[in-house]
Amino acid sequence: MATKKKKKPRRPKTVYQVKVELMESGPPIWRRLLVPGEATLASFHEILQVAMGWTNSHLHQFEIHGCDYSDPEFELEDAEDEGEYTLSQIAPQVPDRFIYMYDFGDGWKHVVRVEKILPVVEGQRYPACVGGAMACPPEDCGGIGGYENFLEAIRDPAHEEHDSMLEWIGGAFDPQDFNPDLVSKDLELVEW
């Protein structure tokens, strides 16, 4: 049986330092990422899914300077093919910002801020997570309002939904749990 060779990581020409923040979250849920400028928006979507802790179970879309970008399989009206555009094409300079929408039902809206365009550091793997705070809300919890209700229920043993919410989430949930090193390790599997 042949063994699968580990793919050698590509070396980017430029690296974007971006801060991704889940809008309306309090305390803020955010990630700081180092992303190759040559990554397509389709790859950047995968990077965001891993970094934020989402499960890629729903539709998504980028809103950038009045234009929408998404996966063409979603057949979203007037959306450009996200696989045809790179981060360096849609955000060629600092500062820049745009919106990443995930799960149109729950309405998880993220603001992506381009903080810096950096040179490549020898030995650094890209993409990488270099900072952040707070755990990602669970999928399908009902958006920010539903997440706040979920947290209220799991914190209060007298809450009528306490037991059912803990069972739904698998027994425990720590809203402050976040480790950028673990995210970076998971990002090693994302191809750009």
Predicted TM-score (pTM) of the model is 0.92
Q: What is the pLDDT of residues 27-85, one digit of tens each?
A: 999 999 999 999 999 999 999 999 999 999 999 999 999 999 999 999 999 999 999 99
- 100 and 62 Cβ atoms separated by less than 8 Å: yes
pLDDT value, residue 33 = 98
pLDDT value, residue 9 = 62
Domains, the chain, ordered by start: 15-135+176-187 (3.10.290.30), 136-174 (no CATH)
Reference 23, options 178, 169, 147, 154; nearest CA is 147
pLDDT value, residue 181 = 97
Q: Report the alpha-carbon distance of residue 119 to residue 188 in Å, rounded.
A: 19
- Burial degree of 68 (CB within 10 A; 0-12, 13-18, 19+): middle
Q: What is the pLDDT of residues 94-143, one digit of tens each?
A: 999 999 999 999 999 999 999 999 999 999 999 999 999 999 999 999 99
Q: Report the alpha-carbon distance of residue 179 to residue 12 in Å, rounded.
A: 25
pLDDT value, residue 8 = 57
